[in-house]
Amino acid sequence: MKRFLLIFALVVLAVAGGVAYFADSDPDGLDAVTQRGCAVVQTERGESLEGNCIAQHTGDHALADGPLADYAVGGDERFTGVAGVIGAVVTLLAAGGLFWGLRRRSGSEEA
């Protein structure tokens, strides 16, 4: 079982590190749909939406300046693979912790 888990973890890390380089920080499908009817215009304060669309009055996410924002570490697009590996490790640790904490206990540990 330990061998399986080790191989599984290595495959997950390899896929996360490799596939993360294909992640795109440009608007995805949801962003594109919410921006229909608007045009992106450059202003002195940055980009602005003009027109009538759902996204016209939106703002940045509270964690937009976070260390893993836009699929990169510290905003550096060269480190998208590292961000993918960090995300995979955090996910595996959270899932493993939940699995370990919620597992059935045998014998004297039962209530």
Give the confidence band of 94 by pLDDT, cuts at 50, 70, 90: very high
Q: How far apart are CA 39 and CA 50, in angstroms?
A: 5
User: How many helices and strands (H and E) does the chain possess?
Assistant: 3, 2
Non-local (6+) Cβ contacts of 1 within 8 A are none
Contact 68, 80 (CB under 8 A): no
Q: How far apart are CA 48 and CA 30, in angstroms?
A: 18
The model's pLDDT over 9-67, given as tens digits with 9 standing for 90+, comes to: 899 888 888 887 776 666 578 888 888 898 888 888 888 888 899 888 787 778 888 88
Report residue 3 as tokens: 């061998």
The model's pLDDT over 73-87, given as tens digits with 9 standing for 90+, comes to: 887 878 888 888 888
What pTM does this model have?
0.61
